[in-house]
Homo-oligomer: A and B are copies of this chain.
Amino acid sequence: GQPLLLIGGPCSLESEQLGREVAETVSKICKKLGISYVFKASFDKANRTSISSYRGPGLKKGLASLARIREDLQVPVISDIHDISQVGPAAEVLDIIQIPAFLCRQTDLLVAAAKSGKPVNVKKGQFVSPWDMENAIGKLRDAGSDKVMLVERGACFGYNNLVVDMRSLPVMRSFNCPVIYDATHSVQLPGGAGGSSSGQREFIEPLSKAAIAAGIDGLFMEIHPDPDKALCDGPNSIALDQVEELLTKLVKVRAAVEE
């Protein structure tokens, strides 16, 4: 079968130095474990819970850093866009363009991303059923894109809570596209800390193992050297020094499923 894919990095590109540190370390781990690696960091967090939340370096500075990390470390990069005007500049740098979950229904954004010619990674909205994501794929394919991936990151379950419905994984794989499990956003508690989201880091490992066993093509992980000091999504990020141990376990589960 295909090697496992890992899309991972700090939630926000807090600094180029932070990005490099994560990309370099995770890249080595992935080579060792036979995992394909794509570095991910956001240049702008456009949908933070509160107006006072940290947002990132911005489009220009962020893409420049991503370009240097890509070039220097020879690692493909992915980031998320929030506005059609960002597609052009993003497509010049990124290997894959990501559509945030809240925006997975925005037709123009999907079409513009598809028309860039770059592969598009769409996160399933917390408010969308797995089978309805076939419509997102239809929008992308209709706009000429043949490289599409979908991400499971949890579904609304009452207020301020998400549940991962593992049925979504085989359902979305049936659309003939790679399906990624977002191991860290799925344990987020949206708005759970009042002016920001909290998270349940203790469930990253069991849910990741479960998703691997249920059958996925890749993982998405927010990774930070010091999650408690992360400027974004710290409560659900995984610590950089725990990545190798976790991936080692996950690779074993995958081998057992693929045998």
Contacts and interface: CB of A to CB of B under 8 A. Distances in A.
Interface residues of A, number: 67
A206 interface: yes
B139 A170 contact: no
Interface stretch (A6-14, A18-26, A89-97, A208-216): A208-216
A253 interface: yes
30 contacts: A50-B138, A51-B107, A51-B138, A51-B139, A83-B83, A102-B103, A102-B105, A126-B127, A126-B156, A129-B191, A132-B190, A157-B157, A157-B165, A158-B158, A163-B167, A164-B166, A166-B166, A167-B203, A167-B207, A170-B203, A207-B214, A209-B213, A209-B214, A209-B257, A210-B210, A212-B213, A213-B214, A249-B257, A253-B256, A256-B256
Interface string A59-102: 00000000000000000000000111100000000000000001
B47 A106 contact: yes
A15 interface: no
B191 A135 contact: yes
Contacts of A167: 163, 200, 203, 206-207
A241 interface: no
A46 interface: yes
Contacts of A256: 252-253, 255-256
B195 A135 contact: yes
The 8 closest A-B pairs by CB, nearest first: A158-B158, A213-B213, A256-B256, A129-B159, A210-B210, A156-B156, A209-B213, A132-B191
A226 interface: no
A238 interface: no
A128 interface: yes
Nearest to A53: B107
A161 interface: yes
A215 B47 CA distance: 30
A245 interface: no
B158 A157 contact: yes
A61 to B, nearest CB: 17
A191 B252 contact: no
A157 B166 contact: no
A125 interface: yes
Contacts of A166: 164, 166, 206-207, 210
Contacts of A132: 49, 159-160, 190-191
A122 to B, nearest CB: 13
